Amino acid sequence: MEAVKSRGKLERMLYTVGQRQHFAYVEEAAFAYENDLLQVAKTAQALVCHL
């Protein structure tokens, strides 16, 4: 019975770690996307200033 309890605990822990990694990945992707938008904005600004 104890082994079953600890296995459930382990699975929950692994699930939590998986969730955290997923959120970290999502945050990283969002950050990269923001940087891309910033680059696009800077490029557009430079083009407009050039005209």
Cα 45 versus chain centre, distance? 28
- Number of domains into which the chain is organized: 1
pLDDT of residue 3: 66
pLDDT of residue 1: 54
pLDDT of residue 14: 79
Domain encompassing residue 50: 1-51
Residue 5 pLDDT level (bands cut at 50, 70, 90): confident
The tens digit of pLDDT for each residue in 12-44 reads 887 888 888 888 888 888 888 998 988 988 998
pLDDT of residue 27: 87
Q: Which of 27, 7, 8, 31 is nearest to 19 (CA)?
A: 27
